Chains A and B, each alone.
Chain A
């Protein structure tokens, strides 16, 4: 069961990476940091609205975090990524690496590297006889993941804005000439990505303690996105669950310390065997 819950977290992270990649061909290396920052913001917002996270205070906390993450995504786009339009995409990727450093240091500065937890939804929903438990939050994770992916799939495939997204990713100047406001599209992509990162971060924080080291979860998200294919949402979902399953099984059957390195081993395997991922388009490889 926890594979499904952890998998949905990774899938959401991977989705955020894929959205930005689909829109601008940029690999966002700061995604893990964005998720943890979002989770810390949720945690602090929770303190502001009263120490217990339930009912009205929960809704307010969610609202604050949601709006904050969307605004932050737009801010990142307009202040940083916008100036890199027209430059090679690996330059933008390096800027996201710089952003990751700044965000991680920001966590240390603002939250003093205090570990924090998000105690919501830990109550068990029902228990199995073998001692397994399903908590509310696990169910919420899975439902959130399913809902998010369904919405995104419909958006990209069937709506005009989604089409413009994909066109703008391939050829921004042409899309601009065809009356698409590129800035709007890319700002939307970043807003969606930071929002989904925050959701993933909150779900992550409900299971593990938050700390600046937690940003390593971004690696699992990136691995999941690569496994599935950087430009495929379907791949992001499946990749997330695959990585979660592999990590869990390794921890259970082989050794817990090896389980930490599982995402990187999967990364190595994917890069060697099928670099464009399970569902990615092969041409992507040369375009980058």
Chain B
């Protein structure tokens, strides 16, 4: 088993000295794979991602324990632009692009001479962006904004792309379109990705490995197929209770066991 590209061990993140958002989370991303982090709101997925990318807001949030190692280097305490230059690039959940700049200016934001070909490749993957180069980014539709955000991140030559809840506010068909493109990018250039999603089905379709977070802890992990077929996953995250019709609904919810 080769060295994981991203190796997070026993991460602990605390808000305001009081509220522990992430308690002892350990995540690994192998090179060239897509890994999904699934969970409901408040599970700690976004916090983990932000801790990795240095994107935590300035006041009162601290990584109090654990190690974050990227390609052998520790990321704890590094500034966002240093982490980004190392190759761990985040597509945030909110505020993910520059609304007052045009699409072209957004895409060219981190452009250097050597990255021009990468930028053109990204336009090939997202033809809708190429059409709207002169448009001010704030006026794009939700799906186009998400594409632009991902495209911008790709121009930074990432070794690991961290995507935070890309399906938020998007129609399912648009989500699928973007997920498919991400899968294609992963296949074509072998870019590793860590995708955080509430839409477990969409994420597990493209991911090869997945982690399930609840209340700041990893409660389950495994290959994507294992997650897709696990009873607890099906009942609580994939919406398939196996009840065969509303007539058969039980009045209570059974407790999650996470066995097998």
- Interface SS of chain A: helix, strand, loop or mixed? helix
With A171-B98, A179-B110, A179-B156: A86-B57 Cβ-Cβ less than 8 Å? yes
Q: In the complex, are the beta carbons of A170 and B84 less than 8 A apart?
A: no
Contact check, A86 vs B53: say whether CB atoms are below 8 A apart: no
Cross-interface CB contact of A177 among B80, B105, B108, B138, cutoff 8 Å? B80
Residue B97 is within 8 A (CB to CB) of chain A in the complex? yes
- A160 in contact (CB, < 8 A): yes
Of A179, A180, A283, chain B has the most CB atoms within 10 Å of the CB of A179
Q: How large is the interface on B (under 10, 10 to 19, 20 to 34, 35 or more residues)?
A: 20 to 34
A179 close to B81 (CB less than 8 A): yes
Chain A residues with Cβ below 8 Å from B79 are: 176
Query: Which listed segment binds B: A50-58, A161-169, A254-262, A265-273?
Result: A161-169
B contact patch SS: loop
Given that A86-B57, A177-B89 are known contacts, is A171 also in contact with B81, CB under 8 Å in the complex?
A: no
Partner among B55, B153, B156 whose Cβ is within 8 Å of the Cβ of A173: B55
B97 touches A177 (CB 8 A): no
Q: A160-B108, A163-B108, A180-B110 are in contact. Are A174 and B81 (CB under 8 A)?
A: no
**Interface status of B59 (Cβ within 8 A of chain A):** yes
Known: A174-B95, A176-B80. A166 touches B101 (CB 8 A): yes
Q: Is there contact, CB below 8 Å, between A163 and B156?
A: no
Tell which of B92, B97, B109, B138 has the most Cβ of chain A within 10 Å: B109
- CB distance A177 to B81 under 8 Å? yes
| Chain B residues with CB under 8 A of A167 | 98, 101, 105-106, 109
**CA separation between A85 and B81, bound complex, in Å?**
15
Cβ of A49 < 8 Å from any Cβ of B? Answer: no
Determine the chain B residues whose CB is within 8 A of the CB of A182 once the complex forms.
Answer: 81
Q: Are A170 and B99 in contact (CB under 8 A)?
A: yes
CB-defined interface of B91-116 with A at 8 Å, one 1/0 digit per residue?
Answer: 01001111111000110111100000
Decide yes or no: A170 and B98 within 8 Å by CB, A177-B53, A181-B81 being known contacts: yes
Shortest 4 CB-CB contacts between residues of A and residues of B: A86-B58, A176-B80, A167-B98, A179-B84
Query: Which residues from chain A sit less than 8 Å from chain B, CB to CB?
Result: 85-86, 160, 163-164, 166-167, 170-171, 173-182, 281, 283
